[in-house]
Amino acid sequence: MKHQPHPLTFLNPLSSHPGRLPAVPGSGGRRVWSLVRHPVVLPGVAVLLVAGLLLVYHTVLTQAVNQSVLQQKARSAQAQALWRCQQLSVVSARQACLRELAAPLPSGT
């Protein structure tokens, strides 16, 4: 009984080992590897990677600072409104003002 190879393997007439391709000089993989090993490519990729990471860091930091400024402005406006309410001399007006301040904001805006 003759040995049959698995259907997914192939017999290479140039090699005594089934399923192996012979080494082809100048193949595409070697060209790419020689480009990667070029002395300028790796440092260039590293510089681009660091520049990209710095850009992302700068964007995140800027957004955090902007949000902090907005929160500070909101706290300041709330404190000023509370102070104005407490300065009202009429008790009913003061209580109405404080109730309005405590009410949740409308979600439409």
Residue 92 lies in a domain: yes
Please state the pTM of the whole predicted model.
Answer: 0.52
Residue 10 lies in a domain: no
| Class of residue 98 by CB neighbours under 10 A (exposed 0-12, middle 13-18, buried 19+) | middle
26: left (phi over 0), alpha (psi -120 to 50) or beta: left
> Mind listing the pLDDT tens digit for each residue in 28-44?
566 767 777 777 888 89
- Total structural domains in the chain? 1
Residue 86 lies in a domain: yes
Residue 27 lies in a domain: no
Q: What is the pLDDT confidence band of residue 99, given thresholds at 50, 70 and 90?
A: very high
- Of 100, 96, 99, 78, the residue nearest 88 (C-alpha): 96
List Cα–Cα distances, 60 to 50, 72, 74, in angstroms.
Answer: 15, 18, 21
Residue 46 lies in a domain: yes
Torsion from C-alpha of 5, 9, 13, 14, nearest 10 degrees:
-130
Residue 8 lies in a domain: no
Query: Domain residues for 56?
Result: 42-102
Residue 108 lies in a domain: no
Mean of all residue pLDDT scores within the chain: 80
Q: Are 18 and 9 in contact (CB under 8 A)?
A: yes
Residue 13 lies in a domain: no
Q: What is the pLDDT confidence band of residue 85, given thresholds at 50, 70 and 90?
A: very high
38: DSSP letter: S
